[in-house]
Amino acid sequence: MDSASAQVTLTSDGPPKLFTFDGAYYMDATGEQIYNDIVYPLVENVIEGYNGTVFAYGQTGSGKTFSMQGLPNVPAQRGIIPRAFEHIFLATATTENMKFLIHCSYLEIYNEEVRDLLGTDKNQKLEIKEHSERGVYVAGLSMHVCHDVKSCHELMDKGFNNRHVGATLMNKDSSRSHSIFTVYVEGMMENGSIRTGKLNLVDLAGSERQSKTGATGDRFKEATKINLSLSALGNVISALVDGKSKHIPYRDSKLTRLLQDSLGGNTKTIMIACISPSDNNYDETLSTLRYANRAKNIKNKPKINEDPKDALLREYQEEIERLKAMIPFRSVQANLDLDTMEGLDPNEAARKLQQLQQQFVGGEQANNEQLKQKRTKKLKDAESKMQRLAAALNVNRDDPLLQVYSSTQEKLDAVTAELQREKNRSKALESEVEDLQGEFELDRLDYLETIRKQDQQLKLLSQILEKIQPTIRKDSNYYNLEKVKKDAVWNEDEGRWILPDISISRTVLPTAHNGIDENIPQRVSRTSLDLILTVAIASQKLARSEEENIASNYFKPIRQSNVLNKYKGDNARSLGDSPTLDGEVKLRAG
């Protein structure tokens, strides 16, 4: 690794592979050095009203979170995020004739779900929206006003403790989510115009191979989502660099959707590629370097954000003017309506006014020339370093065929050397093709393993569903799973299926009548008519049964009657009489 020329050389069995970037830093580099060289100019641009993004990419355990967060107790090894806090408040304090409002937000993307790390409910899922003027934003994301460096650190620590982390074979505290800490810097000049800058500080979860991390269960599910979003990020970068793609797949993941403006849009973006020095991670290191090499070719179109309609600073300024008008002796000057002033407490208005004015920062050290010179020197040093690097990279080697040589032998030597260089370049390209094929094969095997794991999970859920389905009520709409599948609708914005609500169909029987209702509609189904007739007949039988004497008709002494009739019959025969059916005795004629 050559820091002077910002080049990284990767060696293996084949020819060495050379990559050139805007900066290259080995393990002995400090966080302060990295920040001053590459991040300092970007944060200065944010103060001026540009959008900026810094994101760290690399395999798991390569130092992404360390680069962004650093070590709080070691001043030289503090990360990019805490240094950016100090830089922003130092810049606003030394800026003259401007007032600033600074607020922050902190979110994470966990298993393709956006969550607010600073919200009251950290498990609440938030939706990504898109507006013609605001662009892509997260609905319901909490904003927190910061008036000093300490308040920013408190927010960062609170959100960091709410992030999802887990242990793998490669990192005991592996980040299981992507996080984005955003600092909004809104500045108002004396003429009332507003400039708004935004700094996105992104800590990506590491790309993983399941065979190395040993991820199972929840860790495997997380790794699948992480690799999916990072793969989508790579596809976006490739499509932007290609230049021929008519469609940029920003919507393939929540990460690329939120970074849409940072990739090919109105943002100045810095990518920090973190790699491992271990030869065991050669394939992952090569993949990361290629990833970064493609990303540096993206062309963004940054511009200053002037007078945005959704500036929070404008709302604060309007509220301040309104509160000033509520204070005694100013209401007449403000010419406010009586309805507006009615019921307002002047003391409460003064208290709110003081609270709002305390939220503004800027100009506290406007007369401190030493701080101003320190800030200017850092910016010039960073710019001069970039100019020297650009000059070193733009040194073009002259074509040996166009040179004038003193002898034929000298020309022959020069041409021979050029031929050898071209042969080496050809071998390097051949080796590059082989490496790409090998990398593709590794990715293919990794994807196959992921598919196998997901197939096992799918079969498990299917078998569980087969066991559960017989227990579902038959009068529920979820008893027919095929119909539920047809009624389900995929929501692209939320990235989930919208299922029909659970409903229970209840059979409502008609009111019982003594006879058939003459007002029955003609368009009654045969089944319904039979049901009505059955109910009517049953009602008639029930009405007749109430009139019967059940005790006398169904429980009368039958044996006693039979014995009495038999006795009367025998007695009649002995007298020459004939009994009748009703048991009465009549004399025969004659």
Pick the closest to residue 103 from 92, 115, 94 (CA basis).
92
**CA gap 374, 173 in Å, rounded:** 37
Between CA 413 and CA 420, with CA 416 as vertex, the angle to 5 degrees is: 140
**CA gap 272, 292 in Å, rounded:** 8
**CA gap 290, 439 in Å, rounded:** 11
**CA gap 184, 248 in Å, rounded:** 27
With H, G, I as helix, E, B as strand and everything else as coil, classify residue 186: strand
With H, G, I as helix, E, B as strand and everything else as coil, classify residue 272: strand
Show the DSSP H helices in 103-217 as ranges: 149-161, 210-213
Burial class (CB in 10 A: 0-12, 13-18, 19+), 247: exposed
How far from chain centre, in Å, is Cα 44?
29
Q: Which residues are annotated as a binding site for ATP?
A: 58-65
DSSP codes joined into one string, 23-69: ----TT--HHHHIIIIIHHHHHHHHHT-EEEEEEEEBTTSSHHHHHH
Show the DSSP H helices in 198-311 as ranges: 210-213, 218-242, 254-258, 282-295
Q: Which residues are annotated as a binding site?
A: 58-65
Q: Give me the phi and psi of 332, to 5 degrees please.
A: -70, -40
Strands 489-491 and 496-498: antiparallel
